[in-house]
Amino acid sequence: MPIAVLALTAGAFGIGTTEFIIMGLLMQVAGDMHVSVPAAGLLISGYALGVFAGAPILTLATRRLPRKRVLLGLMGIFTLGNAACALAPDYATLMAARVLTSLAHGAFFGVGSVVAASLVSSDRRASAIATMFAGLTVATLVGVPFGAWIGLSFGWRAAFWTVAGVGLVAMAVLARFVPQAVGDDAPLVSLREEVAVLLRPQVQLSLLMTVLGFAGVFAVFTYIQPILAQVTGFSPAAVAAVLLVFGAGFSVGNLAGGRFADRNLGLALSGTLAALLVVLLGLAFAIHGKVPAVVFAGLLGATAFATVAPLQLRVLEAAGAAGQTLASSLNIAAFNLGNALGAWAGGEAIAHGPGLTSLPLVGAALTAAGLAVALASQRRDRRAAACAA
């Protein structure tokens, strides 16, 4: 991959760390802020909803600016937001700081996906997107367990200060290696044309399958710390080690999903969502034993992130050249709307339902709905191809 794609990976690592780090700090934050674990889980939902709102707004607001400048500005917002999280005196301020941080997320990955795809040949676009998203997998593999260890050793605020430092490093790498005028020679599509793309049924179905498919992951992942501690019986220190296995699965699944999508996008979409569904169903039984829980943590990470590149490339192809940047950003927003939906559904199951043990089944139901949408979308493709023939 071109070094500019790897620079985008560095930015993705920083943003991914701040998105996921709260999962390993949920119990510490809840205790320090004197709120319940489901209330602390809403910090994930708040972040996700901020991404959902910020992605289209910032993408449209910066559409006439050079893409490198946009990427650097978004990383600046990210860094300031993490510093605000570390300084937050109460729960409401922490929530506001998380939302501020999240505003940069969707636009960064939306613009970054288009930039990454433009830097390689057409038959490697999914792999380039997967390489950029590998920053998220490395964040899960290294950033989240390391953040959990920092939170356990020095307090959760120290973890957010560390992530702010990561943001500064990512800005320096982007400034050094991303070409100055990357993607700026593309013809500027009118705002009306870009928005009109969103009315296409296949674009809407693509966004919906992202929301529902990924909601199943976060119904479980949001509460992974209390599940492993209270259901499986791991110590707080051991949870960080299990998160390493989960992150390793992310890394393997992300790259495999990108290569799969480059070969056969339709099969990659339905295949990865079906695999995720099977793993979530198996996890309902696996969380009651330590060894099975570790194995299925790795499988969950692998199948969850195997869906990312196919889902992102699907939206780019459904949008066509006219609306790729906005559609790409909105799909990142859709991932995070799914995160918010999953975190909310899991919190409801804990607070008013059968509790932590039911979360894999809650996640499986959401992912099954996403798979149904994917299959319906592919049927539309086949009917359209038959009519054209």
Q: How far apart are CA 32 and CA 117, in angstroms?
A: 43
Cβ count within 10 A of residue 122: 7
Structure-token pair, residue 303: 């199948």
Alpha helices (H) in 222-323, listed in sequence order: 224-226, 236-263, 265-286, 290-306, 308-319
Element of type H or E holding 105 = helix 91-118
| Residue 178 near residue 71 (C-beta atoms within 8 A) | yes
The domain segmentation of the chain, as residue ranges, is: 3-388
List Cβ neighbours of 223 (8 Å cut-off, separation of 6 or more). 26, 37, 41, 346, 347, 350, 356, 359
pLDDT tens, residue by residue, 154-209:
888 998 898 888 888 888 888 888 877 665 555 566 677 777 777 888 888 989 99
List Cβ neighbours of 314 (8 Å cut-off, separation of 6 or more). 206, 209, 265, 269
Give the model's pLDDT for residue 271: 92
Burial of 316 (0-12, 13-18, 19+ CB in 10 A): buried
Q: Whole-model pTM? A: 0.73
Q: How far apart are CA 344 and CA 347, in angstroms?
A: 5
Q: Give me the amino acid identity at 89.
A: P
CATH class of 3-388: mainly alpha
Which has the closest alpha carbon to 60: 174, 182, 188, 187?
188
Counting as low any pLDDT under 70, the low residues of the chain are 1, 140, 181-190, 321-324
| Residue 202 near residue 381 (C-beta atoms within 8 A) | yes
Give the model's pLDDT for residue 283: 93
Give the model's pLDDT for residue 188: 63
Q: How far apart are CA 298 and CA 291, in angstroms?
A: 11
**Exposure of 345 in the CB half-sphere (CA atoms within 13 A):** 25
Cα 66 to chain centroid, rounded: 25
Structure-token pair, residue 76: 């600046």
Burial 280-302 (b: 16+ CB within 10 A, else e): bbbbbebbeeeeebbbbbbbbbb
Q: What Cα–Cα distance (Å) separates residue 97 from each residue in 145, 165, 209, 263? A: 22, 16, 29, 41
> Using only C-alpha atoms, what is the Rg of the chain?
19
| Residue 360 near residue 281 (C-beta atoms within 8 A) | yes
Give the model's pLDDT for residue 181: 65
pLDDT tens, residue by residue, 1-30:
678 888 888 888 888 788 777 777 888 888
Give the model's pLDDT for residue 186: 56
Give the model's pLDDT for residue 360: 93
